[in-house]
Chain A
Amino acid sequence: MVSQPVIRAENLDLTFQTNDGPVHALKGVDLTINKGDFVSFIGPSGCGKTTFLRVVAALEHPTGGSISVAGMSPDEARRKRMYGYVFQAAGLYPWRTIRGNIKLPLEIMGMPRDEQEERVERVLALVDLKGFGKKYPWQLSGGMQQRASIARALAFDAEILLMDEPFGALDEIVRDHLNEQLLKLWAATDKTIGFVTHSIPEAVYLSTRIVVMSPRPGRITDVIENPLPRERPLDIRDTPEFLEVAHRVREGLRAGHAYDD
């Protein structure tokens, strides 16, 4: 299988002008993400991992370099609804049921009603929330809400899934469970996933590649190919291979951080 580049960034710069002077959120970022990749971005706060994801989503605009998403500019890709974005907060509308929330993007895209219903059923099953469609968000736990927000991002079958610390606010046990589910989901749908995280085990467990970033200016310090097989039971995290990759990530983070101490 020849891997096709889906996201390609070359020498990407993004500088925010603030009252305290310019902030270099991204500097000289080169990265290619291929179709079907699961790429994690890891690094301390301010390293630009979220900013990079937002640039891919055309929510921020780079001040230098070039980036293409599925062969187009990010803004064109946004207009063509090429990606689903999952934010750190589930951000479900409290006045809509889970079903209504998942329908939201479908309504906006003007899909026929019966197709909406059919898609809602399908993604509810995909995130293991069958039978919860009629509940309101406040009736669900935090983990279930986040699953609903992932279902919402999956509902319109975008090729790319961009996830910005989706499990950051959840406890370890729930997070493990959701990580496992996310891997299954990825295997089932073969989507390209960009995933921002703070957690080394999470990054190593989930991804095919791990992008290590460091702040001031936000840049990529290391890109680690993950040698683990695609099939990953939870206890793979106790194997020497896993620990070795985790060690490399930690080293990369430390190297990028050294001048800070």
Chain B
Amino acid sequence: MKSVLPILTVVAAIVVMWYAAAIGMNVKWAREQAARQGVELGFTELVADTWSQDRPRLPAPHQVLEELWNSTGAKILAGKTWSKRSLIYHGWITLSATLAGFAIGSLAGILLAVGIVHNKAMDMSVMPWAIASQTIPILAIAPMIIVVLNSIGIQGLIPKAIISAYLSFFPVVVGMVKGLRAPGREQLDLLKTYNASGAQTFWKLRLPASVPYLFTSLKIGMAASLVGAIVGELPTGAIRGLGARMLTGSYYGQTIQIWSALFAAAILAAGLVGIIGMIEKLMLRRMGVRT
């Protein structure tokens, strides 16, 4: 509970700065509109206007919250949870691709790490390629993946999941390689004195030792997966998903819609990372870590 106060303080500071910024960003438009209509705006009117425009440069926090509510809670109450205007619907589209990509990416990352740690040739060859893969901007590769897969008749969730996996396998590889190599020489020597097999060394020492590293990587990987899924929705002009919401929002200057989709994505990411954090806590407690 001790951490609540500082967090609230920071949030309050951000909200204050945000409202101030909204005045600054939107005041020009408010003045122009007033001049066109030949009215003189007082300070309070001016401020009120900058916080309530239809298409502001920077929407005020309450406008974003209102839009968030209108496209989620209000839709549920109206029985239109899965309508095209519902962020729950779009969020689910993105979430499903994120989870699929995360599963593929994490599994691939773990398998690659196991290979790297146990096979000299893989150790020498895989890592440089993994690093190179991450230096290529995902925005450049995403359209190609989607176009290529589309040409062989695959579309929808799979291409987005692959882009997600492409982003999320990397932190898992790096973290797991470090984790699997965490046991020191004495610990490996000890198992050697027991004449333990490679498989026993893996299951009894390397794998348990890597668990804390794995969870750290999974958190990063999950966030990367979400970014991947959203990026995967942008280049094709998709009409479904949070990425599509942002894209259509930008076509029509619907800044409030963009911001609310942005917030939905952030809330989704926080939730997903939070779930992994909870699993991590439970797992580490079962492994006897001091809490």
Q: Mark A19-33, 1 if CB is under 8 A from B, else 0.
A: 000000000000000
Closest B residue to A84 using CB positions = B193
Check B289 against A59 for contact (C-beta < 8 Å).
no
Closest B residue to A153 using CB positions = B193
Closest A residue to B195 using CB positions = A79
B208 within 8 A of A: yes
- Chain A nearest CB: distance from B150 CB in Å? 47
Pick the contact of A78 from B187, B192, B209, B288 — CB < 8 Å?
Answer: B192
User: Given A91-B187, A95-B287, A138-B290, is A83 in contact with B208 using a C-beta cutoff of 8 Å?
Assistant: no
**Could you say which residues of chain A place their CB within 8 Å of the CB of B211?**
95
Closest B residue to A85 using CB positions = B193
Check B204 against A94 for contact (C-beta < 8 Å).
no
Closest B residue to A107 using CB positions = B204
B190 within 8 A of A: yes
Place the interface of chain B in its size category: 20 to 34
Check B288 against A95 for contact (C-beta < 8 Å).
yes
**Could you say which residues of chain B place their CB within 8 Å of the CB of A94?**
287-289
- Chain A nearest CB: distance from B13 CB in Å? 39
- How many residue pairs, one in A and one in B, have C-beta atoms under 8 Å apart? 53
**Could you say which residues of chain A place their CB within 8 Å of the CB of B189?**
59, 85, 87
Pick the contact of A97 from B196, B208, B288, B289 — CB < 8 Å?
Answer: B288
User: Given A59-B193, A91-B190, is A108 in contact with B288 using a C-beta cutoff of 8 Å?
Assistant: no
A98-119 residues at the B interface, CB under 8 angstroms: 104-105, 107-109
B194 within 8 A of A: yes
A32-50 residues at the B interface, CB under 8 angstroms: none
Pick the contact of A136 from B186, B187, B208, B288 — CB < 8 Å?
Answer: B288
- Contact surface of A with B, Cβ cutoff 8 Å: 57, 59, 78-79, 81, 83-85, 87-89, 91, 93-97, 104-105, 107-109, 136, 138, 156
Please list 24 pairs of residues, one from A and one from B, whose beta carbons are closer than 8 Å in the complex, sorted by A's number: A57-B193, A59-B192, A78-B192, A78-B193, A79-B195, A81-B193, A81-B194, A81-B195, A83-B193, A84-B193, A85-B189, A87-B186, A87-B190, A91-B186, A94-B287, A94-B288, A94-B289, A95-B211, A95-B287, A104-B194, A104-B204, A105-B194, A109-B194, A136-B288
- Contact surface of B with A, Cβ cutoff 8 Å: 186-187, 189-196, 200, 204-205, 208-209, 211, 287-290
